[in-house]
Amino acid sequence: MVNNLLKNLSRIGLLLLLAILPILFHDNDHIMNIIILCLIWGVVAASWDLILGYANLFSFGHLSFFVIGGYASGLLAKYIGLTPWLGYIAGGIAAAIIGFLIGIPCLRLKGMYLAIVTFSLNFVLPTLIVWAGPGKFENFSTGGSWGLTRIPAPSLFGYVFTRQELVPWYYLSLGFFIMFLSIIYLIIKSNIGLAFIALRDAEPQAKSLGVNEYKYKLLVFALSAFIAGSAGAYYASYFSLISPASMNLDVFLIVLVMVLFGGLGVFPGAAIGAFIITIVNELLRPTLEWRLVILGTIVILTMMFMPKGIMDILALLGRLMKRILNIRRSSKSTPA
Amino acid sequence: MDLDTFINLLLAGITLGTVYLMMAMGLTLVYGVTKVFNYAQGSFFSWGGYLAWYLSVGVLGWNYYLVIPITLVVMFIAGMIFEKVIILPLRRFPGWDFTVIIVTLGCSLALDNLILVIFGPLSKTIPHLMEGTLKIGKFVVAQHDVLMLVIGILMFIILQLFLSKTWIGLALRAVSQDNVGAKIVGLPLNTLYSVAFGIAGLLSAVAAILLAPRTLLYPLVGWSTLLKAFVVIVLGGLGNIKGTVIAAFALSIAEIFLSYFLGGIWAMPLFLAVLVVLLVFKPKGLFGSW
């Protein structure tokens, strides 16, 4: 009871904190930008966790969905004039279709095979994007290695979002974040999520009870790709740019650290990890090239010493607290 | 296309094949013995190349023929240390096969970026094994290419002899067939695991020394070779030696010809397409029975 109340209170407190953050930082564009990035990467990390942590599929090509979403919405907005709002959905749908197509051959793959096939996307997709650059397709040029620039920002009731004012962007991102995290939460709590977890924890039993493995694997590919693609479309309209550099291995590494550090398959974990690692990543900037070495080392240490990520730290803190409380109580009850 | 170009492309393909073959043998050996798919082997490749560069033309300026054996020994030891420090502690985890994939991936990214920190982003070049050309009939070939082929074949034969004639080689094969049985008869499993990684390190270094004069060295150089070697393994059938040899040469020749006609960027898409088609329709490889 009390626990539940505390949990709800802390959630409401967290939301309130998120809602009033701009009051503290509204005149510091740098910090506002980082917080907005936290929200966007939070969605991406949580959607990756859906496939990596909940369905336990080694999909290492998740950023390709992000980038495909960005390009799809950007191209549609630039060359057809689709409004960014619809672009977010279109980016999601494009990524979901690709995710579904990638999911089909991956149905038969396990472990390292799946890991390699999906990981290769990080090398194949950028080269294809660069190839489809200037001079290849008249009306649908991807802009080559420079990326697709001047992607329009959304507008609401006549107000056009601009990079000069980050507070409106912040609230838009917060809404976006809350919406997608709620969707992910609902997916996890629904029968679909139950099926993922059943397939992950006890595959033979789940199959014997008639859980259709193929259906749910394709579904998780498409769903997580949709969310990542939509986030990519949002990212593209926020920076008014999407480029193959978003698929560089360092971006892959950073998002991987977010998911692992936040904890695989523990729901808000990946999003929390995204917040922490985005900030850590910014704090590490002065270390220059060491930054990525440190992040890679975090991956190794996390998997070795705290496989549940941040949840392990919290559990450890909880145990410490309990021990301290117990010591105090026992010292009270038994006067020495 | 005239005959001259054709022969040149074919030779380029075959020599590239020896590199893929060596990387593939390293991966297969490690996977067979330790059941680890080692993502970090691409970094072994890069590190081997950069070490050779550092010792020879880059900084220390030692004689290249002295540098090569030193590099190989160092990479062998580095591979063993890698297994002892990173992989061995993971074995006590439940579900470690999941953990180990992510950990080797993390290692690989950390090691690649360490290259960036130490050697900088500019690409490096290491010397050819031998400068100069050789005339065979009316064809002119680089001596380095001939040596690539010779060394590749020699390494392959040596490895096969090692695995079938020496005590350690036989022990490695015993572990890869049945590691519980191997443990029962008293084979030192942990040592053998390390040796397998050491051999993979050595083979990667050889591959780097052979290939890097052609492709340059840059921090992420190991990845494409690693991924292509993986496709070679799948095409040949995991653990199938004959299949791996054929696959290595077939794919490398296909890559060279494709690059010639369509451009180099299509190499990776080709490999990925081959991989997907294979895994879906012939998951045991073209020659596979396992």
The nearest CA of chain A is from the CA of B204 a distance in Å of: 19
CB contact under 8 A, A307 and B93: yes
Identify whether B2 is part of a domain: no
Q: What is the DSSP letter of B134?
A: E
Identify whether B244 is part of a domain: no
User: Cα B169 to the chain's mean position, in Å?
Assistant: 19
Q: How far apart are alpha carbons A179 and A183 in whole angstroms?
A: 6
> What does A164-182 look like in DSSP terms, one character per residue?
T-HHHHHHHHHHHHHHHHH
User: Cβ contacts (< 8 Å) between A58 and chain B: which residues?
Assistant: 101
What pLDDT score was predicted for residue B289?
52
Segments forming the whole domain that contains residue B167:
17-221
Identify whether B230 is part of a domain: no
Tell me how many domains chain B contains. Answer: 1
CB contact under 8 A, B275 and A117: yes
Judge whether residue B1 has pLDDT over 80: no
The nearest CA of chain B is from the CA of A124 a distance in Å of: 6
Q: How far apart are alpha carbons A84 and A233 in whole angstroms?
A: 8
CB nearest A296 (choices: B109, B234, B269) = B109
The nearest CA of chain A is from the CA of B280 a distance in Å of: 6
Between B211 and A149, the higher pLDDT residue = B211
The token duo for A114 is 């799946």
Judge whether residue B290 has pLDDT over 60: no
**Chain segment B8-37, per-residue pLDDT in tens:** 889 889 999 999 999 999 999 999 898 888
The token duo for A193 is 């999520």
The token duo for A53 is 């942590």
The nearest CA of chain B is from the CA of A229 a distance in Å of: 22
The nearest CA of chain B is from the CA of A194 a distance in Å of: 21
**Chain segment B218-227, per-residue pLDDT in tens:** 888 888 899 8
Do B267 and B64 meet the contact criterion of CB atoms below 8 Å apart? no
CB contact under 8 A, B101 and A112: yes
Q: For chains A and B, what is the number of CB pairs under 8 angstroms?
A: 109
Compute how many other C-beta atoms are within 10 angstroms of the C-beta atom of residue B38: 32
The nearest CA of chain A is from the CA of B137 a distance in Å of: 40
Identify whether B30 is part of a domain: yes
CB contact under 8 A, B93 and A117: no
Do B249 and B13 meet the contact criterion of CB atoms below 8 Å apart? yes
The token duo for A300 is 């190794």
Average pLDDT of B269-290?
A: 76
Mean pLDDT score of chain B: 88
- The region that residue A281 occupies, defined by phi over 0 for left and psi between -120 and 50 for alpha, beta otherwise, is alpha
CB contact under 8 A, A115 and B37: yes
Instruction: Look at residue B140 and give its three-state secondary structure.
Output: strand
Distance between first and last Cα of chain A:
35
Q: Match 């966007």 to its residue by tokens.
A: A40
CB contact under 8 A, B101 and A249: no
The nearest CA of chain A is from the CA of B110 a distance in Å of: 4
CB nearest A120 (choices: B108, B116, B227) = B227
CB contact under 8 A, A304 and B105: no
User: Cβ contacts (< 8 Å) between A105 and chain B: which residues?
Assistant: 276, 279-280
Q: How far apart are alpha carbons A332 and A73 in whole angstroms?
A: 65
Average pLDDT of B195-210?
A: 95
Instruction: Report pTM.
Output: 0.88
Judge whether residue B206 has pLDDT over 50: yes
Identify whether B267 is part of a domain: no
CB contact under 8 A, A113 and B234: yes
The token duo for A116 is 């390699």
Residues whose CB falls within 8 Å of the CB of residue A186, separated by 6 or more in sequence, listed in order: none
- CA within 13 Å, CB half, B115: 27
CB contact under 8 A, A299 and B268: no
CA-only gyration radius of chain A, Å: 21
CB contact under 8 A, A108 and B224: no
Coarse DSSP helix, strand, coil percentages of chain B, rounded to the nearest 5 percent: 80, 5, 20
What pLDDT score was predicted for residue A2?
62
Q: How far apart are alpha carbons A197 and A102 in whole angstroms?
A: 21
Task: Give the ipTM of the model, two decimals please.
Answer: 0.85
* pLDDT band at residue B248 using 50, 70 and 90 as cut-offs: very high
CB contact under 8 A, A56 and B103: no
Average pLDDT of B82-98?
A: 86
Compute how many other C-beta atoms are within 10 angstroms of the C-beta atom of residue A140: 13
Average pLDDT per block of 10 residues along chain A, 336 residues long: 70 78 80 91 94 87 93 89 89 94 82 85 88 74 80 81 83 91 91 86 85 86 94 92 87 92 85 91 86 90 84 83 79 56
Identify whether B158 is part of a domain: yes
CB nearest A292 (choices: B86, B98, B113) = B113
User: Nearest residue on chain B to A290, judged by CA atoms?
Assistant: B117
User: Cβ contacts (< 8 Å) between A124 and chain B: which residues?
Assistant: 268-269, 272
Q: How far apart are alpha carbons A260 and B101 in whole angstroms?
A: 13
What pLDDT score was predicted for residue A336?
47
Identify whether B102 is part of a domain: yes
CB nearest A108 (choices: B110, B224, B279) = B279
What pLDDT score was predicted for residue A247?
87
Between A11 and B51, the higher pLDDT residue = B51
CB contact under 8 A, A303 and B114: no
What pLDDT score was predicted for residue B107?
93
What pLDDT score was predicted for residue A334?
54
List all residues of chain B from 230 to 249 with a beta carbon under 8 Å from chain A: 230, 234
Judge whether residue B39 has pLDDT over 50: yes
What pLDDT score was predicted for residue A333?
58
Do B194 and B80 meet the contact criterion of CB atoms below 8 Å apart? yes
What pLDDT score was predicted for residue B98?
80
